[in-house]
Amino acid sequence: MGDFLIETVGEAVAEVILSLLACTLLGCLALIAYLSWSFSPRLTIAGAGLLSLFLAHGAWQTFGTPAKGRRRGLTALTAASFTLVGLTALFLLLYATGCNCL
């Protein structure tokens, strides 16, 4: 009985910590978007376009036909960035949906 209680409380605390982290991350992303739009809407749109191209190249390298040899330089960077953004989006989808901040 004691092990079950410790495990249940541990899971509840971990869930609260992950939800708090997701809400903080979502708030920081919203703040960055707000501040950049306040500074320069045109630059924000241009930056979003460049970031989209960068991530599209990473997706193409990740899911496209495998090239011979190792990935180097920009190709490895875009593929790793695409993977990181995808994992962050999945994390936010799972844990930030219940943060009631919107």
Assess whether pLDDT exceeds 90 at residue 43. Answer: yes
Q: Compute the distance between CA of residue 83 and CA of residue 62 in angstroms, rounded to an integer.
A: 8
* Phi, psi of 99, rounded to the nearest 5 degrees: -85, -10
Choose the weakest-confidence range: 20-24, 34-38, 61-65, 70-74.
70-74
For the whole model, what pTM was predicted? Answer: 0.76
Kindly state the percentage of the chain with pLDDT values over 70. 90
Question: In whole angstroms, what is the distance from residue 27 CA to residue 101 CA?
Answer: 8
* Band of pLDDT at residue 101, cut at 50, 70 and 90: low
Q: Which pLDDT score is estimated for 49?
A: 95
The Cα–Cα gap between 8 and 24 comes to: 24
Task: State the average pLDDT over residues 54-83.
Answer: 84
Which pLDDT band holds residue 94 (cuts at 50, 70, 90)? Answer: confident
Measured CA to CA, the distance from residue 51 to residue 37 in angstroms comes to 15
Segment 50-66 shows an average pLDDT of: 89
